[in-house]
Amino acid sequence: MTFSTDIGLAFPELILAGAALLLLVWGAFAPRMTAAIAAAAVVALLGAAFAAATGPLGRAFAGGLIADDAAVFAKVAIYAASAVAIPLGQSWFERRGVKNFEFPVLIVLAALGMGMMASAGDLISLYVGIELHSLALYILAAMHREDGKASEAGLKYFVLGALSSGLLLYGSSLIYGFAGSTVFADIAAVAGQPGNTGLLFGLVFLICGLAFKVSAAPFHMWTPDVYEGAPTPVVAFFAAAPKLAAMVLFARVLAEGFAGAIPQWQQVLVAIALISIFVGAFAGLAQKNLKRLWAYSSIANIGYAVLGLAAGTNEGVQAMLVFMVLYMIDVTGFFACLAALSRQGRAMETIEDMAGLIKQQPGIALAMTAFSLSALGLPPFSGFFAKIYVFKAAIDGGLTWAAVLGLVGSVVAAFYYLRLIKVMWFDAAPGATDKPAFEARLIGVGLALFSFPVVVLALRGLDQAAARAAAAFGLA
In a domain, 183, yes or no: no
In a domain, 188, yes or no: no
**Same domain, yes or no: 107 and 232:** yes
**Same domain, yes or no: 416 and 332:** yes
pLDDT at 151: 80
Phi, psi of 431 (to 5 degrees): 170, 170
**Same domain, yes or no: 232 and 264:** no
In a domain, 201, yes or no: no
**Same domain, yes or no: 222 and 329:** no
**Same domain, yes or no: 381 and 415:** yes
Per-residue b or e along 284-293, where b marks 16 or more CB atoms closer than 10 Å to that residue's CB: beebeebbbb
pLDDT at 92: 81
Number of domains in the chain: 2
Query: CA triplet 118, 123, 125: central angle to 5 degrees?
Result: 50
In a domain, 286, yes or no: yes
**Same domain, yes or no: 225 and 303:** no
In a domain, 168, yes or no: no
* H/E segment holding residue 347: strand 346-347
In a domain, 437, yes or no: yes
* H/E segment holding residue 247: helix 241-252
Distance from C-alpha of 27 to C-alpha of 100, rounded to nearest angstrom: 9
Distance from C-alpha of 133 to C-alpha of 82, rounded to nearest angstrom: 12
Whole-model pTM: value is 0.93
pLDDT at 439: 66
In a domain, 192, yes or no: no
Beta-strand runs (E) in 10-99? 58-60, 65-67
Contact 65, 59 (CB under 8 A): yes
Phi, psi of 347 (to 5 degrees): -60, 140
> What is the residue range of 44's domain?
1-157+217-244
Query: pLDDT tens string for the chain (476 positions)?
Result: 577 787 888 899 999 999 999 999 998 888 788 889 999 999 999 999 999 999 888 888 888 888 889 999 999 999 999 999 998 888 888 777 777 888 899 999 999 999 999 998 899 999 999 999 999 999 888 887 777 777 888 888 888 888 888 889 999 999 998 888 888 888 888 877 776 778 888 888 999 889 988 888 888 888 888 888 888 888 889 888 899 999 999 999 988 888 877 888 888 999 999 999 999 999 988 888 889 998 999 999 999 999 999 988 889 899 999 999 989 888 888 888 888 888 877 888 888 888 888 888 888 888 888 888 888 888 878 888 889 989 999 999 888 999 999 999 999 988 989 999 998 888 888 877 778 776 666 666 666 666 665 555 556 677 788 888 888 887 76
pLDDT at 300: 92
